[in-house]
Structure 1
């Protein structure tokens, strides 16, 4: 599906889902989420459209077994059994020339009894730079991916994230190859190259990092590749359950972080104001406590549904579960205590997540 067709589908899908059409600052038609877009949970048959946007409700997903060598498919199945709900979104990670979708990823998203959509993060520039990718120096890598998709995964829609959390990788030095403008150029080049190669089943997600220091940078908004190549806007953000510890808070806090000093809009308001036509995916989220410091996470889990009710732009949430993060000191697992697991199971059971993958 070409980019022009994608934009029309997005608009029509938004209208059908109960959103309102508005004229953007540049004169283009955009779809802004309306307050009535989210019906009472469980009152309608919610189904995904051509860009995997649910007509109502919120898609539920997860990445399990993070920062371990355990097979991601097996870890997700264990997580689903523990939480009590199949993850409609199966989040995986790849880099460079790694061959994917893998056999296990294909199997997990071909399970008729447990329908799932693949959300894959790909660091295309691994071993290179964003600037070099944008110049075409990794076209062989991109074309190989396109060939695999068309041969082994031609009939399934999937979410594609290019280099999630790019803020963390920016080197704001002229000529570094890792400037914000280089990311934007890389993203545009890859998506346009995939389009020319006939990949029409990728749904593109731009995934930001929810951290105040990055929001304060002058280049933060410069990372955005453009509405014509982005289908969803994503956010990776976490909160601590320990009062007084780094990023202590509830679900609203991971959505509303502002630049250091409290200037400007919070992330959710920025996304819905600057890009009102784009559905929002919380592509990674979690509630953590320090390892060896078990803390009640239920307030964080209990805060999710009230926030979703107030924020119709959010169409998917994807939990990142691990007993230890990349720094080795945070436990983001849902079962760090029995009380935490019970609270998470209660959240998972809510019918707002009953969305059919079409």
Structure 2
């Protein structure tokens, strides 16, 4: 990417006035409104390589569908093979150009290697003299053959641009006469290649800069377009000053008219004065009024309005000026159709919905596993023997406490709620102690409830409690004692 480098030069007001009076040129009146969205071929320098090609449709979309007809790039000026066109991106630009017949491919071509190498003037003079003698003709012949082979024989070649400045090695100032001879050799060499239809654009920078650009003009026979690179910078603070300065915009228009050549603006944009919407507005009006064959804005910072976000006001002016106006077509008047009576409503027949039975899928019966209940031995209650009766004096015997259960539970269980069908729980097999079992005489079956002795009897019975579970097995039992409560004993209370 080539950043333009500018050099300020003093302006001679007397020369400006004399030039304007001599040519009778008129400046573009700022009041004359003209929309820039005309058929003038417009483009923007977006990038030298393939990225510049791919960004063109995005710029078009940003401008509301504005057709970008100019593709503009630069050949590197570091070595001669690059100036010969041996760069990969050149094929991409050629393919874009071939996409439409009305497109224009603009290619800036350096005239010397080490073109931005800050070569001193005495060496530049030697290089110019060598070019005028034909030592570099073969490089430009190869470039012409390369462009023809790529299918772009009508390329607009901006040769040795801004030759009136001090930036580039191909500058004119050190030897203007040999520089013009060198230009002639380059143009004639490229025109000798079969199939070419090149147009050569002579494009100085606006103003005098290092040398008046008219002193470098090589002649009408080797120039097809008279261009100018014009940025918003000195000399000239306002657009009017930039137009009227010596060798400014108006001088370019007049010179091109005098030589019968169309004009162009290969580079223009913002620079020294920041975001300047007035400059953009006036430059677009100038372009619309003087009808250059093409113009391309340099669209990177600080010059641009699309890729550079530092100039929002100028960007707005540029976009509004170049966005095509959408044609508004009148809405046709359609007569209202006559009212058609609505036919009577026909009842919709009810179609019964068939009932499709739901298939019954048999479910497999999974048997419930049966857990075996362990057989627990039934505990046998041991009847207690009756205590012997002492024939001695009768002494009141304290009540005998009931014996504990033969097999006490390891964990006391609260009284459960009676369940008609209790589910037996498995009990762990506990070791049973081997206790001697006394032999008892057979007892007749006991009634459910033991007999109750009569009131005031000398027999005292105490019921035995074996627990609810064991009592259900053996029934309710009682131990009875007989006491002699006779009247002769001394214990009869009545």
Aligned residues: 270
**Could you tell me whether the CA contact under 8 Å between 2:164 and 2:204 is conserved in 1?**
yes
- SS of residue in 2 equivalent to 1:97: helix
Please state how far the C-alpha of 1:232 moved relative to its aligned partner. Answer: 0.3
Please state how far the C-alpha of 1:199 moved relative to its aligned partner. Answer: 4.9
Please state how far the C-alpha of 1:266 moved relative to its aligned partner. Answer: 3.9
Please state how far the C-alpha of 1:331 moved relative to its aligned partner. Answer: 4.5
Alignment of 1:336 with 2:328, yes or no, is no
Paired with 2:62 and 2:241, the residues of 1 have a C-alpha distance of 26
Distance change in 2, residues 1:310/1:348 (3 Å): closer
Alignment of 1:225 with 2:218, yes or no, is yes
Report matched runs for 1:204-219 at 5 Å. 204-214=200-210, 217=211
Distance change in 2, residues 1:271/1:108 (3 Å): same
Equivalent residue for 1:300? Answer: 279
Distance change in 2, residues 1:276/1:152 (3 Å): same
Report matched runs for 1:145-184 at 5 Å. 145-153=143-151, 156-169=153-166, 178-184=174-180
Q: Which has the larger radius of gyration?
A: 2
Distance change in 2, residues 1:79/1:171 (3 Å): closer
Please state how far the C-alpha of 1:77 moved relative to its aligned partner. Answer: 4.1
- SS of residue in 2 equivalent to 1:121: strand
Equivalent residue for 2:417? Answer: none
Equivalent residue for 2:294? Answer: 316
Distance change in 2, residues 1:75/1:182 (3 Å): farther
Alignment of 1:188 with 2:184, yes or no, is yes
Aligned Cα root-mean-square deviation (Å): 3.6
Alignment of 1:87 with 2:68, yes or no, is yes
Distance change in 2, residues 1:186/1:75 (3 Å): farther
Report matched runs for 1:34-183 at 5 Å. 57-65=39-47, 71-84=51-64, 85-94=66-75, 95=77, 96-98=80-82, 99=86, 102-112=90-100, 116-127=103-114, 129-153=127-151, 156-169=153-166, 178-183=174-179
Higher relative contact order (CA 8 A, sep 6+): 1
Paired with 1:170 and 1:182, the residues of 2 have a C-alpha distance of 19
- SS of residue in 2 equivalent to 1:161: strand
Show CA shifts across 1:132-179 (max 9, x none). 22211112212211221232225x52201111001124899xxx9942
Paired with 1:189 and 1:248, the residues of 2 have a C-alpha distance of 39
**Could you tell me whether the CA contact under 8 Å between 2:108 and 2:161 is conserved in 1?**
yes
Distance change in 2, residues 1:350/1:233 (3 Å): farther
Gapped regions of structure 1 (runs ≥ 5): 1-34, 47-55, 259-264, 324-329, 352-358
Equivalent residue for 2:254? Answer: 272
- SS of residue in 1 equivalent to 2:60: helix
**Could you tell me whether the CA contact under 8 Å between 2:148 and 2:196 is conserved in 1?**
no
**Could you tell me whether the CA contact under 8 Å between 2:144 and 2:196 is conserved in 1?**
no
Normalising by structure 2, what TM-score?
Answer: 0.48
Report matched runs for 1:1-12 at 5 Å. none
Paired with 1:190 and 1:279, the residues of 2 have a C-alpha distance of 21
Structure with the largest fraction of strand: 1
Paired with 1:108 and 1:126, the residues of 2 have a C-alpha distance of 27
Equivalent residue for 1:11? Answer: none
**Could you tell me whether the CA contact under 8 Å between 1:210 and 1:235 is conserved in 2?**
yes
Equivalent residue for 2:471? Answer: none
Structure with the largest fraction of helix: 1
**Could you tell me whether the CA contact under 8 Å between 2:207 and 2:235 is conserved in 1?**
no
Paired with 1:178 and 1:171, the residues of 2 have a C-alpha distance of 12
Show CA shifts across 1:68-100 (max 9, x none). x88322344443333443321111111332125
Paired with 1:142 and 1:153, the residues of 2 have a C-alpha distance of 17
Gapped regions of structure 2 (runs ≥ 5): 1-27, 115-123, 326-494
Please state how far the C-alpha of 1:201 moved relative to its aligned partner. Answer: 1.5
**Could you tell me whether the CA contact under 8 Å between 2:305 and 2:314 is conserved in 1?**
no
